[in-house]
A and B are shown apart, each in its own frame.
Chain A
Amino acid sequence: MAQHSSYSDPILDCPATETPRPEELIEAAMKWHFSPQTGSPYWLERAKSLPFDPIRDVRTFEDLKLFPNVANELRDVRAEDLIPRGYASLSDLYGVYESGGTTGAPKRVVCMVDWMDRWLAFSQRHLDARGVPRGLNWLALMPDGPHIFGAALREGARRSSGILFTIDMDPRWVKKCIAEGRAEDAGRYAEHLIHQARFLLQTQDAGVLITTPPLLERIAKYDDLVELINRKIKIIQWGGAHMDADTRRLFQTEVFPGIQMQGGYGSTMVLGGSLERTDAGGTDWCIFDPLSPYISFSVVDPATGHPVPYGQRGQVVMNHISKGMLLVNNLERDTAVRVEPPPGQMGDSVADVKPVASFDNQQVIEGVY
């Protein structure tokens, strides 16, 4: 990438504490990603084969459906070609991250520094709303490496003035074990992770525990770990896999009463996603609101592509629109119940997320991760 002066845009570069209106974000983003001075080599090239003009024709949430789902192309594209030219240099790049590899070869996305700022501000707003004090240490049993979750945690803990304690986790190995019918190996790996977490819980102060529902279930088998967590942890953040409403209720009433739990639901492909609504109004469901308008969801009937009625289950489509990345109409591997969004949010909120049974002819395996 040649050195040049960076371009800026008042909407795309608005402070992380502010939220642009959906239409102004879409308009600014289309200009940015499809103008030769600022767009990425990938999108500029790809636009040539689009049967519409994104700058002219894409103005509303509804218009995003004009785009094809290009997620599969991200398995092969050079990472450099995904970076918009409007950035001055690679120093604006936070990192390149990959999808879980659940449904084939991994897909790659670029995360720019300005996006990481926005995501962390969103995450911090939720922690503040839940009254979680700053300065707590974080203990994460979560994937790092090519997965964006690890990077976000590292940065999040640092910004909230806490130490991040981590354990290595490779979810792809777990999925491979299960795909090959070696569930016992996957189980042993999970036990190996928990064994390491025990040392940290026993010896270190940690107030925030970040992990996946399957690992949390395994942890709950051990009375000593449950006791340590109940004594030390103030909030459990879970994500990376699904948690049904009954399991969530059991955790909150029996296993970890008095500890706040906050779910996250998202995807590397949209560089984040959604967090559990702080006040779900007494429902049993865990409702997820995305970081709108940058990230937005639709819940659709996969046969027609049309939204299902509120309260009905459909397949989740995710969009990401920001200065650093554009990826829309990405049909995810999950189904969810469509929920009415809070005022001002673009697209749907979702609840009761579950994996679909099969996707792109590959068996989807959730595994212990």
Chain B
Amino acid sequence: MPGHHQVDALGHAGPYRAVHREAVPDVTGACAAELSIVPRLFVQRSLAALRRGVSLPAEARGKALSRAAELFATGNFGGLSAEAYQHCVSRVSGLPLPVVRAAASIIADTARQAQTSAYAALPRGAVTSWSDRATREGAAVWTRRGEVFAVNAAGNHPGVHALWLEALALGYRLAVRPSRKEPFTPYRLVAALHEAGFGTDQIVLLPTDHSVADDIVNQADLALAYGGDDVVAKYANNTRVLTQGPGRSKILLAGADWQDHLDMIVDSVSNEGGTACVNATAVLVHGDPAPVAQAIAERLRALPSLPPEDERARLPVQPVAAARALEQFLLRHAEGTTAWLGKDGVVEELGDGSAALRPAVFQVGRADAPQTGIELGFPCVWVAPWSPSDGIAPLRHSLVVTVVGGDDTLIDSLVQEPTIRNVYVGNHPTYWMRPGVPHDAYLGEFLMKTKAVLSS
């Protein structure tokens, strides 16, 4: 396939164009680029280089991250300008271009602030260096649990790459395995970090096939892995691996007048094209859920089906076959529910081999209906009745719960529930995020530990 755009590996010796390259298809199935796939030996040597590497001092890390933020936002990497990069991501991931652009801007912001936000996790009693005066009396020093951190990344949304920047800020050396579906974002970010001063013995990009992915995780000290329930289960008892699994974010309308919050609800379902773990999967309604479902459906129905690179695009686009498979899955699981939108399917073909995934709104009969846990990569929401007697059980295992109305006892129990990871009280969309406020706990809680140092 000569003439295709190339996405190289960024290994211990710099960019590497492999003999073994894989096509990265766009939403029509056409080859958008070729990705170099590196073998096990390459991974082994790059990980060895990271292990031998020396991290930059904290201050230099902060400066290099800021510089990388600018380069990522505006530079030219792998032959792609910022604009071309965003277009490319949109075409291969099917994410609406405005979503990609916003995500790129968030990644740059996160890089700029990574040094500050990473240290937001610093325990109040701890200092960051043994040379701090506090250690003369004996003090906790915040230290890394390891040196080399591996990221087995997802490709659903560029935003996933904002998370691991804090590991770099904390002085870890990183191996990033990109998703083979969307390698452009991590390529651009790692290339920018290299140019900004992080050496190839401090961060590498290792595109590999599935069989080598475990090597990266196993050879690092600590790792971050994205995936479904299977990945979460696989690493459940592995204290070296942090997983980012399904979000299953929810909105609980616990009593307030829901009409005032309709914008927030619709936005929570459909912002980011409905592709993020922070998009609302279920809305639980105290009272009759039907008018809520109807109102959400009315609003979502208006979203246009457009190619992803269209400025007005809001819905995700997939190859027709993939879209049809999702549709079948949805309709099979929606049996026995009341359809407000998407009764006859969600696929609208765009005529070029791709299809927009249109929103779906289904009403289920119980707060604990199993459908409320079905998270799909487009605006798809399950609306359920809820009453205080249901308690918070139906809201467990959620990345985000936005709760509107409800008393302090309810909010207390949501905040105390270990399997609910973020709670937003009031008219705040489930996708709300800000650097310095944890997305799924501070990464620093996983990467760092305190140790006592007495240095008088």
Cα A284 to Cα B20 with chains together (Å): 10
* Residue contact A254 to B13, C-beta cutoff 8 Å: yes
Given A244-B20, A246-B18, check contact A254 B39 (CB 8 Å).
no
> B302 at interface (Cβ–Cβ under 8 A)?
no
Chain A residue numbers with a CB within 8 Å of B37 are 246
CB of A225 to closest CB in B, whole Å: 13
* Residue contact A221 to B44, C-beta cutoff 8 Å: yes
Chain B residue numbers with a CB within 8 Å of A244 are 19-20, 39
Question: Which chain A residue shows the least CB distance to B214?
Answer: A183
Chain A residue numbers with a CB within 8 Å of B20 are 244-246
CB of B405 to closest CB in A, whole Å: 50
Cα A250 to Cα B13 with chains together (Å): 11
Cα A285 to Cα B19 with chains together (Å): 9
> A249 at interface (Cβ–Cβ under 8 A)?
yes
Given A244-B39, A246-B38, A254-B13, check contact A220 B19 (CB 8 Å).
no
CB of A212 to closest CB in B, whole Å: 13
* Residue contact A220 to B39, C-beta cutoff 8 Å: no
Return the contact of B41 from the options A217, A284, A285 (Cβ within 8 A): A217
* Residue contact A246 to B13, C-beta cutoff 8 Å: no
Question: Which chain B residue shows the least CB distance to A223?
Answer: B48
CB of B61 to closest CB in A, whole Å: 28
Which residues of B from 395 to 416 have beta carbons under 8 Å from A? none
Cα A220 to Cα B44 with chains together (Å): 9
Q: Which of B37, B40, B48 has the most CB of A within 10 A?
A: B40
* Residue contact B39 to A247, C-beta cutoff 8 Å: yes
Question: B150-168 vs A: 1/0 string, CB under 8 Å?
Answer: 0000000000000000000
> B312 at interface (Cβ–Cβ under 8 A)?
no
CB of A364 to closest CB in B, whole Å: 13
Question: B247-286 vs A: 1/0 string, CB under 8 Å?
Answer: 0000000000000000000000000000000000000000
> B42 at interface (Cβ–Cβ under 8 A)?
yes
Given A246-B20, A249-B19, A284-B19, check contact A220 B45 (CB 8 Å).
yes
Question: A107-134 vs B: 1/0 string, CB under 8 Å?
Answer: 0000000000000000000000000000
Return the contact of B40 from the options A217, A251, A284 (Cβ within 8 A): A217
* Residue contact A217 to B18, C-beta cutoff 8 Å: no
Question: Which chain A residue shows the least CB distance to B17?
Answer: A246
A contact residues vs B (CB 8 Å cutoff): 217, 220-221, 244-247, 249-251, 254-255, 284-285
Cα A15 to Cα B380 with chains together (Å): 76
Return the contact of A246 from the options B19, B44, B48 (Cβ within 8 A): B19
Question: Which chain A residue shows the least CB distance to B37?
Answer: A246
- Identify 20 new A-B residue pairs, CB closer than 8 A, beyond the known A247-B41, A249-B19: A217-B40, A217-B44, A220-B44, A220-B45, A221-B48, A244-B39, A245-B19, A245-B20, A246-B18, A246-B19, A246-B38, A246-B41, A247-B39, A250-B39, A250-B41, A250-B42, A254-B13, A254-B45, A255-B41, A255-B45
Question: Which chain A residue shows the least CB distance to B38?
Answer: A246
Chain A residue numbers with a CB within 8 Å of B45 are 220, 250, 254-255
Cα A247 to Cα B39 with chains together (Å): 6
Q: Which of A247, A250, A251, A255 has the most CB of B within 10 A?
A: A250
CB of A353 to closest CB in B, whole Å: 13
Which 10 pairs across A and B sit closest by C-beta, in order of nearness?
A245-B19, A284-B19, A247-B39, A247-B41, A246-B18, A246-B39, A217-B41, A250-B41, A246-B19, A244-B39
CB of A62 to closest CB in B, whole Å: 33
Chain A residue numbers with a CB within 8 Å of B19 are 244-246, 249, 284-285
Complex A-B: 24 CB contacts under 8 Å: A217-B40, A217-B41, A217-B44, A220-B45, A221-B48, A244-B19, A245-B19, A246-B18, A246-B19, A246-B20, A246-B37, A246-B38, A246-B42, A247-B39, A247-B40, A247-B41, A249-B19, A250-B39, A250-B42, A250-B45, A254-B13, A254-B45, A255-B41, A285-B19
Cα A244 to Cα B40 with chains together (Å): 10
Cα A249 to Cα B39 with chains together (Å): 11
Which residues of B from 13 to 70 have beta carbons under 8 Å from A? 13, 18-20, 37-42, 44-45, 48
CB of B43 to closest CB in A, whole Å: 10
Cα A236 to Cα B207 with chains together (Å): 28
Which residues of B from 74 to 89 have beta carbons under 8 Å from A? none
Cα A177 to Cα B435 with chains together (Å): 46
Chain B residue numbers with a CB within 8 Å of A220 are 41, 44-45
Chain B residue numbers with a CB within 8 Å of A254 are 13, 45
Cα A247 to Cα B40 with chains together (Å): 8
Cα A244 to Cα B39 with chains together (Å): 8
Which residues of B from 413 to 432 have beta carbons under 8 Å from A? none
Cα A245 to Cα B13 with chains together (Å): 18
Cα A249 to Cα B9 with chains together (Å): 15
Chain B residue numbers with a CB within 8 Å of A247 are 39-42
Cα A104 to Cα B40 with chains together (Å): 28
Q: Which of A220, A246, A284 has the most CB of B within 10 A?
A: A246
Cα A244 to Cα B20 with chains together (Å): 8
Question: Which chain A residue shows the least CB distance to B48?
Answer: A221
Chain A residue numbers with a CB within 8 Å of B41 are 217, 220, 246-247, 250-251, 255
Cα A255 to Cα B39 with chains together (Å): 14
Chain A residue numbers with a CB within 8 Å of B48 are 221
Chain B residue numbers with a CB within 8 Å of A284 are 19
Chain A residue numbers with a CB within 8 Å of B40 are 217, 247
Cα A245 to Cα B37 with chains together (Å): 11
Cα A220 to Cα B40 with chains together (Å): 11
Chain B residue numbers with a CB within 8 Å of A255 are 41, 45
CB of B201 to closest CB in A, whole Å: 14
